[in-house]
Structure 1
């Protein structure tokens, strides 16, 4: 089994032992092919093209990472928002990727590596990764983690009697918590087999390799109460706000705007499934040096803190928590959540995703 848990003691030590330590360039978000940089003529050594997902996440990158990096280095950062893995892989295989650096989840970076589409990272060029307390599972040959997020349970707080669910076992307890449920579809990420196993009593540190047969038997017990298998991050909050479901898995942070507006919603963190976005450098990248410089810049504790304040994803560098105000630190890698959740095993899912997804689709149709 691959140990993909955060090194909790090292992370907590890192939080407590920190040594404090050209004009701003434009950042262009490109959503269509015609607007994206093409060919050597449109790319200079002073321009770095980064692929990210855009939206609020891209805006947080612009504010916390790209613009400060450009101001310090004089390197302009352009952005392309290519949504599909297959499209990115095709560009790399053709030897003409439109991006020098990929910002994407670590599972996708593992898939790129299996397709021989990314460069092996030279950690001698990443000074801020050394002795920084970053989890070993995020220091891979094909990519390095940059921010944590988590899938957690969200629920309505206006339940009769004021009871609140405390675990995934409560999600499966339809007598104590009667009402509709919602869960993630494989179109949005790995099926939530881990939550079923936790509900059935499997300890956090014994989840992997997943007992797929057992997980589907547990899923059978709640299937009739699942009103929707959601495919995007906004849907769970909408379903909860409208009262169409009582409980739902959700990407932490996505319903925050609804909560701030007064919607009767809350999270519980027990059994949170942590994942990480990360950086990888595609083969054929035209500005590899600038890519390394941006990765190293983004791993500075203060930059990690700035990003976490702009977007609700947890730092991978524990020292960043020294810069975060307390009210902004309810994140996937927060010290209080390290012992209540687990890290998704990227290697297991990359190897088993196709088979599990096929079985899940057959289960959902049955």
Structure 2
């Protein structure tokens, strides 16, 4: 995880130690507010067009290169052959018995969206989030949440040890467990996507090189090559055609899954993150 403070201090002094920054699009937006990123010259990034990067992942200061999805994972041996299909099932501890795990704000944004989806809010009507309603729904599950996870591997550990039967998880974290023979699967319905991307530090000493590397990294071929080595979901829809069917369908970004998920509304979270986190911490203490 990138610690923002030292880098922002270097940029303010006009001496950034790095040129190209790979960070969440939400963090890039925070950097823009601190005047810490170069305004991008789109003509120097030919691959943005050729890779067909989605418009909503192109800003004046950053371009989205991949996303990770928060979704649910469950033990396939826990529910007598039944499979949870939705967040409503995650909340249904009668039909799907056993403990749950959800993330702590140290791990990711509080999972208000999942509570609202469980309560019947349509995916395209989530934002602006109804915070009061979300906490009401979370409270219904609070007694069944055995642990709040704060790091990527923890949901897998809890599921492996059978401490919980279902957990929220980052989508790429389940594949290794499946390879080890742990009876777990992910459900991508209602997945929350958050994009990562590239930006150039304000005052970068090697701006030309940064542009070249960014242009190369955003190519569909480059994104596909990365996805073969690491469970990262390319932002370029063309990258998926360059993968085998098995490689493609292992990724939450595959065309067949894409419409099952939604993009995090960064602007909403930037305005509300600190208030929601404070309320979440009070709520979790009960």
TM-score range, shorter chain: over 0.9
Q: Per-residue CA shift, 1:61-113, capped at 9, x if unaligned? A: xxxxxxxxxxxxxxxxxxxxxx3122222222222221101111111111111
Aligned to 1:195: 114
Match of 2:197 among 278, 284, 304: 278
The structural deviation recorded for 1:131 is: 5.4
Mapped to 2, the partners of 1:306 and 1:160 lie a distance apart of 37
Aligned length: 285
**1:182 matched to 2:78:** no
Mapped to 2, the partners of 1:135 and 1:166 lie a distance apart of 28
Mapped to 1, the partners of 2:72 and 2:62 lie a distance apart of 29
The structural deviation recorded for 1:232 is: 0.6
The structural deviation recorded for 1:174 is: 0.8
Aligned to 2:277: 357
**1:347 matched to 2:267:** yes
**1:239 matched to 2:180:** no
**1:293 matched to 2:212:** yes
Aligned to 2:242: 323
Q: Per-residue CA shift, 1:101-155, capped at 9, x if unaligned? A: 1111111111111111111111111111125432222101121001121011000
Mapped to 1, the partners of 2:67 and 2:167 lie a distance apart of 20
Q: Per-residue CA shift, 1:185-237, capped at 9, x if unaligned? A: 11112100000000000111001111111111100000111111111100000
TM-score, reference length from structure 2? 0.97
1:87 aligned counterpart, secondary structure = helix
Mapped to 2, the partners of 1:105 and 1:347 lie a distance apart of 13
Aligned to 1:76: none
CA contact (8 A) 2:53 2:237 kept: yes
- Structure (1 or 2) with the larger CA radius of gyration: 1
Q: Which runs of 5+ in 1 are unaligned?
A: 1-52, 54-82
CA contact (8 A) 1:151 1:252 kept: yes
Mapped to 2, the partners of 1:160 and 1:249 lie a distance apart of 17
CA contact (8 A) 2:51 2:219 kept: no
CA contact (8 A) 1:148 1:332 kept: no
CA contact (8 A) 2:79 2:96 kept: no
Aligned to 1:14: none
Mapped to 1, the partners of 2:108 and 2:80 lie a distance apart of 34
1:111-130 alignment to 2 at 5 Å? 111-130=30-49
1:164 aligned counterpart, secondary structure = coil
Q: Per-residue CA shift, 1:248-271, capped at 9, x if unaligned? A: 000011132111010011001100
1:312 aligned counterpart, secondary structure = coil
Mapped to 1, the partners of 2:12 and 2:144 lie a distance apart of 44
**1:268 matched to 2:187:** yes
1:131-146 alignment to 2 at 5 Å? 132-146=51-65
Q: Per-residue CA shift, 1:6-30, capped at 9, x if unaligned? A: xxxxxxxxxxxxxxxxxxxxxxxxx
1:147-186 alignment to 2 at 5 Å? 147-186=66-105
Q: Which runs of 5+ in 2 are unaligned?
A: none
